[in-house]
Amino acid sequence: MTDSAGDPAKFWKTVNSLKRGNSAVSLPKQITSDSCILSEKNDICDAFNKHFISAGFLFERKSGHCGTGQLVDFSSCFSTVTLKNGNPVFSFQKITEAEVLAALCAIDTKKSLGADNLDPFLLKCAAPIIAGSVTHIFNLTLSTGIIPKVWKAAFVLPLHKGGDGSDLDNYRPISRLPCLAKILESIVNKQLQSFLSANSILSTNQSGFRSKHSTTSETMLVVNDIANALDDRKHCAALFVDLSKAFDTVDHAILLSKLSSIGVGTDACRWFYDYLKDRTQAIMVDGVKSDSLQLLKGVPQGSIIGPLLFSLYINNIGDDVRYCKFHLYADDTVMYSIAPTADQALMQLESDFRILQGSLLQLKLVLNAKKTNVMFFSRSKLSVRNTFVITSLDGTQIKQVSAYKYLGVWLDDRLSFKKHVTELGKKLKFKIGFLYRNR
């Protein structure tokens, strides 16, 4: 499988193909788990599932705290949240039969079966007959705040992000959910997106999973800021922040509290509470299925509404940053300081980096200091590239680089794009050679 770790657009395109049961995904021949080498498919599936489940408690392991092992009570999530009078409140709108019929007719029949064993082709063929009943079930879940348990059961595909194929940390779990569950999620997602847009709730710094935003527009914004700074003979210090298992470590209590704080009503919050509660997953690849385990943390990757919930979870992560410009594409984060002198730019970056790490701790997110990189942009002949050190709160020194692949584009410290052109040329040479050999 092509390594898409450096290009989120390519990665999520791959995710969407996996939702359709793409057969290109297969288990590695062997993996290493707890210092043991596993080669049996059943053992590999079980190891993957246990690893993905345990990834949710990465923050607790790093900080030395023990996880609760269960979702907190509904009422305790909102005890400290009070909305001011006049603030907009989100509540679900009644789903119409026309909406459901259109969604059923638009089903991709190539999608694989979910845990409910309902064939997408059958659902599409029977759409005019079952649309009324499905609509009633959907509206019942919204009014009662209860989702059928089978709709919260996922078959998970391990997506290789690159690197050593035997290392479990180099895989990301992609959930394949029942078709009807995804249709319901899609309708809920559309209603919530409309509320967020109408009330300008999503941060302007977040470009991920938003209409009229893309990796291209995000990259152009960052490059334009840095280029203007260099043209004005200023200096720019940038930090490319990497988070460990960001989607997997989302704390449900914090997420529900955030939903309430932005105006999601009690009934709607109760539905989201049940959406997160009692979720299960099992690895199912190459005809082999692991045991099902309960998912106690995170939002499902591969779901419709999961990315939006994650965006809301980190929506205010850069609010306290004082000097730096701050941009997000999902969990891909860049912050950069522009100043007349190199020392000032670096000092401002270091100060805001501490503030950002404090925000991460509050959200129980883990900084991946080993994959976080710092780069100094300047066209000055007097370079300070090797004279400064930035460290994380735990004392890890952040690696200094002269080039970094940001959202699929190679940026170098002179902003010359020589590295990007060179890498692009290598790809074109490989693809042209492949076409030539197979013409």
Which is more confident, 150 or 5?
A: 150
Angle at 89 between CA 202 and CA 306, to 5 degrees: 45
**Which residue in the block uniquely carries the two structure tokens 């300070």?**
384
Q: What is the mean pLDDT of residues 420-424?
A: 91
Q: How many other C-beta atoms are found inside a 10 Å radius of the C-beta of residue 64?
A: 6
Whether residue 11 is predicted with pLDDT greater than 50 in this model: the reply is: yes
Question: pLDDT tens, 200-227?
Answer: 998 888 887 777 778 888 899 999 999 9
Q: Which residue has the higher pLDDT, 296 or 13?
A: 296
Single-letter amino acid code for the residue at 178: P
Please report the pLDDT score of residue 79 as a whole number. Answer: 47
At 175 the pLDDT is 87
pLDDT of residue 290: 92
Higher-scoring residue by pLDDT: 59, 69: 59
- pLDDT-wise least confident of 99-103, 122-126, 307-311, 384-388: 384-388
**Residue predicted with more confidence, 431 or 47:** 47
In angstroms, the CA 243 to CA 247 distance is 9
Has residue 21 got a pLDDT over 50? no
| Cα–Cα distance measured from residue 374 to residue 349, given in angstroms and rounded to the nearest whole number | 10
- Quote the pLDDT of residue 3: 46
pLDDT of residue 347 exceeding 60: yes
Assign 110 a pLDDT band (cuts: 50, 70, 90): confident
Q: What ranges in 199-265 are assigned the alpha helix state H? A: 215-231, 252-261
Nearest to 268 by CA among 305, 294, 231, 217: 305
Residue 65 has pLDDT above 80, yes or no: no
